[in-house]
Amino acid sequence: MTSGRRVLVTGASSGIGEAVARLAAARGDRVALLARRADELERVRRSLERRDEHVVLTCDLRDEAAVRAALAEAGRAFGALDLVVHSAGIGYRARLDELETRSIDRVLAINVTAVLCVNREALPWLERGDQPVVVHVGSVIARRGIPGQLVYAASKAALASASEALRLEWAPRGIQVCLVHPGVTRTPFFDVQENPHQRPPPDLAHADTPEQVARVILDVDRRPRPEVWLRSRWRWFAIAGLIAPKATDRWLARKLGPPDRQ
């Protein structure tokens, strides 16, 4: 697969999305940067190689009309889309008895509903693309939920199932749908997620960098695979949860520590 692809990245104003945009531009791609914060998107665009070739799309992913308009603008700008990367996502650190319906709805709206809406609006442009690929950014907890992150885990599990369904649905159209599972990543994600009881964030000392995740995403664009884990031990952990769920529960309970920290 050659460079010079036409790429749409959601959540492009920071973290994994920003890293994907940088690496894609560096390999010669044109990038449509989509997020809510216009100033941050402009900062990213100005920092990219050949900055005038890229497009800024300011859009709240919860606004269906705004999503439709943004995708139409990206399509008109590039004529087609070859790669769509869904890196926008939010977390919610809370146990079941602490959950607020408003916050649940917000997580599901951005992590699930928005992905489906973007894909729907991207479809006519992907059908015009060259070897089109869609990459959903999942999570290790999509296949094994953990306490205190049940809403986020549920959203990523839904995305995993949607990825499987869409992979089959779009296969006759020649569109590859891939799911990439990062683990803990060194981004602002944990700083900005809703965390009403201020539980401590995970240890980021050995976390992956956004650039490491972005390199895997762009490698999946070159060599599409249905499901990719950044580290093989997470894949085996997910498999262990299916084969021996009680033993996995016991191990995970020891690993996570006292319930008040979860």
Tokens of 112: 């699930």
The DSSP bridge partners found for residue 180 are 137, 228
Q: How would you classify the pairing of strands 176-181 and 133-137?
A: parallel
Convert 137-164 to b/e letters by CB count within 10 Å (16 or more is b). bbbbbbbbbeebbbbbbbbbbbbbebbe
Cα-flanking dihedrals φ and ψ of residue 90, to 5°? -130, 160
Distance CA 240, CA 9 (A): 33
Nearest residue to 222 (alpha-carbon basis) of 176, 159, 165, 261: 176
Length of the chain: 262
Tokens of 215: 């390199």
Q: Which of 152, 189, 234, 237 is catalytic?
A: 152
Q: Assess whether 152 carries a catalytic annotation.
A: yes
Rg (CA), the chain: 18
Residues annotated as part of the active site: 152
